[in-house]
Amino acid sequence: MRETIATYFQTLQDQICQALETADGRGHFQEDNWKHHSGGGGRTRILQEGNIIEKGGVNFSQVQGQTSEALMRQMNLSEQADYFATGVSIVMHPVSPMVPIIHMNVRYFEMSNGTSWFGGGIDLTPHYVVDEDAQWFHQQLKNTCDQHHPEYYSRYKKWADDYFFIPHRQETRGVGGIFFDYQKPESDLEKLKLFDFVKAVGETFAPTYTHLMLKNQALSFGDAEKQWQLVRRGRYVEFNLAWDRGTKFGLETGGRTESILMSLPPLAGWKYDYQPEPESREAQTLLLLKKGIEWA
């Protein structure tokens, strides 16, 4: 089963890269193959200086080995065991501040004691929150979720609100999306169903994001919008480096640094105590970076 999942994730990576290149119209992914110290490895694909995408990564990995001490601490394990982990991770930083940043991840984890679980999610980080786009984005995720379980969307939407939150700013990273982890199947049938759901999440990414790319890429913007983009990208860096458990896990367990940190933007800025003008579009965006907004 794990080979089936890993093979599927590779195909998903291929399909997503192709869809993004087509939508971008100029950028091409460069590929780096790497090996993990204890077994397996990855296929990192990076697009830089595209027409719409300034920097983005679509990473596949499949690693195995013995749980290290760092890994055991991270996962609250009391005994050493063999593990197998595979997944696809995506972050896109667009050129235009009018096009949102996006993140997607699907992953599968298996331990030698027999337990296994799926995790994943998609979340959107617009530099400027546009109600119509946020609603449409959440509706796409809800449509996917509803085909698999009537409670998935509400459960995983809340989980995303809680996960993609920057405590020291009291802001969400963006307008959220869905997030789930440690989804352990109790039977083979349940495992197949969960895998089907994870596949559907992965396949929701490309049509959803390419729609938002193409819809917004031609909107005009100037210096003020580029400055604001630097501020929002700074917040993205703060979340990823200081709070994101996936990044922390990767950096502490000896993952490949350049593949993990492909999530960081090409350029980001920090002005001291930057406050947008009251009533400005920037200020309105801040008001919408809150948990609990029902977009769909």
Give residues in contact with a copy of itself (CB under 8 A): 32, 46, 48, 55, 57, 167-169, 230, 234, 237-238, 241-242, 247-248, 251-252, 257-258, 260-262, 264-273
To a copy of itself, the closest distance from the beta carbon of 150 in angstroms equals 37
Cα separation, 139 vs 223, whole angstroms: 32
Cβ neighbour number for residue 171 with a 10 Å cutoff? 19
**Closer residue to a copy of itself (CB): 90 or 130:** 90
C-alpha closest to that of 107 among 1, 181, 186, 205: 181
**Closer residue to a copy of itself (CB): 1 or 267:** 267
What is the end-to-end Cα distance of the chain in Å, rounded? 34
**Closer residue to a copy of itself (CB): 48 or 210:** 48
Q: What residues act catalytically? A: 103
Task: Give whole-number Cα distances, 6 to 13, 145, 226, in Å.
Answer: 11, 22, 39
To a copy of itself, the closest distance from the beta carbon of 272 in angstroms equals 5
To a copy of itself, the closest distance from the beta carbon of 183 in angstroms equals 28
Query: What tokens does 238 get?
Result: 């703060």
Q: Are 149 and 185 in contact (CB under 8 A)?
A: no
**14 class by beta-carbon count within 10 Å (0-12 exposed, 13-18 middle, 19+ buried):** middle
To a copy of itself, the closest distance from the beta carbon of 233 in angstroms equals 10
**Closer residue to a copy of itself (CB): 242 or 283:** 242
Amino acid at 294: E
Tell me how far the alpha carbon of residue 134 is from its chain's centroid. 16
